[in-house]
Structure 1
């Protein structure tokens, strides 16, 4: 658990953060979101003591970060920056194994771990291990940055606007990768972004930060439904965001209401031989699309309605026309 207690950070006469209190739970994918200059990166950097509070405390598992051994803290915290921050004179394998070498891992064990993680981020080890950063695309470099952050199997990964410089396709691919990795691991992710769509797509919970103040904490659904103030409302006031939720699919009238007849047909395998997956109204069309990607005939049930893959296609066509 990460706790910020009455945290203030002052630069000269300016307050970057003001009396901020926040708790991030173990295992969360927690997103700090807000406009540029809001204080969210300052908040993130306090976790691994790249920034020291002017007042207040930051605690990890009830231990004051200020009292922790700094080298040990950073070696056991994964950190992913905007542009991967790879060493240009080192190969992919050397870059990815920097922390492991510092921790005293022997070369064969380091190699085995990097090969394993490259496969997890969909990079062929035989192709990439000996490449240098200037031979990588932006998306590939960020995947290596993610491998390096995960290498020592840390309990905590910090990600500071890691995808902001990438093209939309690479950005979407890496967002899905982070969601997949978070599901597989027991690691806590703290992710900074100024992109509200990215925040909503990724976050278990998110915190809205503006002018050094914490305005609201909650799930994306909670914040969209009940914004704490006018700024939060305006920041998330975008129909394209609301259209991402399964509630909007239901509002569009798609799907078939569950009846005793349709339930019987499903149970007997007449309509679909697999298991019907349950989605909540607060889940997104990306959750739905991921299920269909895994099983092209997948039927989902949302609040008493059955939705087929054809409904997903129809919905995507509708929102495409609305843009």
Structure 2
């Protein structure tokens, strides 16, 4: 568990973060999302003490980060930056094994671990072990960065806009890789992005940050279906995405009041029209309840007819 308690960070009399409270559960893929300059990277860097709060505190498993041994904290935290941040004079294997060497792993054990992880991120060891960063594409360099972050089996991995400089195909491939690795390893990932689509795709939960303050916290579907304020609504301004949620169906005027004789399956506003359609496919006359409104199969047909 990572907890931010009343955290403020001030630079030159201006708050980058202001009195922010936030908790991240162990094993989550947690995404901090917001526009450039919102404070999300500052928040991330407080976890491994690259940034120190002006006031408030950050704890990991109830231990104040300020009281932890800094070297041990960073050695046991994976960290992936933009563009890989690889040392240009070192080979892929040397770059990937930096933390393992610092932790005192013997060379044969380091070598075996890097071989294992390179295969896992689809980089053939026989082709990539001895390459230098200048011989890698952007996507390949980021895969090496991920290997380096995971090499020591950390309980926590921090990722600071790692895919922002990549082409769309490489970005999608690496997003899929992060999801796979998170499912397999069940490690806590904290991921920073300014890309709302990336945040929606990756997050178990996400926190929307703006002007150093928390705007909304929750599951992507809940935030898309029910944005907390105008900023969140505008930031996630994707009408096509929102049209799939049942809240949007209700907000569009469909449904009727519930009577005592109605039979229905209860769904949430953050459930989707596809879940609704699956119920209707099973039982053609199936009604659903969303809040205090009843939706009938004919409403699904009529709503679908309005979509572009």
TM-score in terms of structure 1 length = 0.77
C-alpha contact 2:154 2:187 (8 A) present in aligned 1 = yes
Residue 2 of structure 1 and its aligned partner are, at CA, apart by 0.2
Pairwise CA RMSD of aligned residues?
Answer: 2.3
C-alpha contact 2:245 2:273 (8 A) present in aligned 1 = no
1:30 corresponds in structure 2 to: 30
**Superposition misfits of 4+ residues, deviation over 6 angstroms:** 243-249, 251-256
1:112 corresponds in structure 2 to: 112
The alignment status of 1:179 with 2:179, answered yes or no, reads yes
Unaligned runs of 5+ in 2: 247-269, 289-306
Unaligned runs of 5+ in 1: 262-302, 304-321
* Structure 1 Cα separation of the partners of residues 274 and 116 of structure 2: 44
C-alpha contact 2:225 2:242 (8 A) present in aligned 1 = no
Instruction: Call closer, same or farther: CA 1:232–1:249 in 2, change over 3 Å.
Output: closer
1:135 corresponds in structure 2 to: 135
**1:164-202 Cα deviation digits (max 9, x unpaired):** 000000000000000000000021000000000000000
C-alpha contact 1:242 1:248 (8 A) present in aligned 2 = no
Instruction: Call closer, same or farther: CA 1:253–1:141 in 2, change over 3 Å.
Output: same
Residues paired across the two proteins, number: 264
C-alpha contact 1:157 1:189 (8 A) present in aligned 2 = yes
Instruction: Call closer, same or farther: CA 1:26–1:255 in 2, change over 3 Å.
Output: closer
* Structure 1 Cα separation of the partners of residues 109 and 84 of structure 2: 23
C-alpha contact 1:6 1:21 (8 A) present in aligned 2 = yes
Instruction: Call closer, same or farther: CA 1:252–1:6 in 2, change over 3 Å.
Output: closer
Instruction: Call closer, same or farther: CA 1:169–1:215 in 2, change over 3 Å.
Output: same
**1:241-281 Cα deviation digits (max 9, x unpaired):** 336879998469977944489xxxxxxxxxxxxxxxxxxxx
1:57 corresponds in structure 2 to: 57
* Structure 1 Cα separation of the partners of residues 223 and 271 of structure 2: 16
Larger Rg: 2
The alignment status of 1:72 with 2:72, answered yes or no, reads yes
